[in-house]
Amino acid sequence: MFDFLFAVTEWLRTTALLDFAFWITETPLSLFMVENFWMVPAAQVIHILAIAAAFGATLMLTLRTLGVSGAGSTIEETSARYVPWIWWGLLVIVISGLLMLTAEPLRNMINAVFWFKMIFLVVTILITLGFQKRIRAAAAGVGATWVAGGGTKTAAIAILVLWSLIMVCGRWIAYVPV
């Protein structure tokens, strides 16, 4: 596994990403992030809190879909309560992530784990969009008695696994040499 990650990192060094990362280090935003010692930790705290909000809301929606919790409420009620937290949290995750990327572009852009995290994030967003559309359509008008089918339950579990991979990769980025 580590040889594969090392090979991907070595390949990333040969791409235009390296020049782009060096260019980012000279931008005013990057310099501001680096010169103000509190900016990176603040962005990290905001990033982690947004991940907690988005993942917590995702967890609640998927647990309702799996029939583990929230059996007394409809999918419409559960979605209305948690879906905004997912998407607003994701927006804050992206903004704070871009700030952290701007502060340390070489550490991130030439890091295989960072790119796996981005792939997992895009896949998670796409599956979540389809998942939310599917459960709302399937549960429309049924009420609290709605029970998800096997494919919907599989998608719910896949979303939780993908979010877990995103969080593991996020932590792992700091420990992978580039």
User: What pLDDT does residue 82 have?
Assistant: 94
User: What pLDDT does residue 142 have?
Assistant: 75
Contact 101, 109 (CB under 8 A): yes
User: What pLDDT does residue 2 have?
Assistant: 77
Contact 89, 99 (CB under 8 A): no
Rounded to two decimals, what is the model's pTM? 0.89
User: What pLDDT does residue 149 have?
Assistant: 84
Q: pLDDT (tens digit, 0 to 9) for every residue of the chain, 178 residues total?
A: 778 888 888 899 999 999 999 999 999 999 999 999 999 999 999 999 999 999 999 999 999 999 898 778 888 888 999 999 999 999 999 999 999 999 999 999 999 999 999 999 999 999 999 999 888 888 777 777 778 888 889 999 999 999 999 999 999 998 887 7
Per-position DSSP letters for 24-35, written without gaps between them: HHTSHHHHHHHH
User: What pLDDT does residue 148 have?
Assistant: 81
Q: What secondary structure, in 3-state letters, does 60-124 show?
A: HHHHHHHCCCCCCCCHHHHHHHHHHHHHHHHHHHHHHHHHHHHHCHHHHHCCHHHHHHHHHHHHH
User: What pLDDT does residue 35 have?
Assistant: 95
Query: What is the crossing angle of helices 75-103 and 28-35, to 10°?
Result: 90
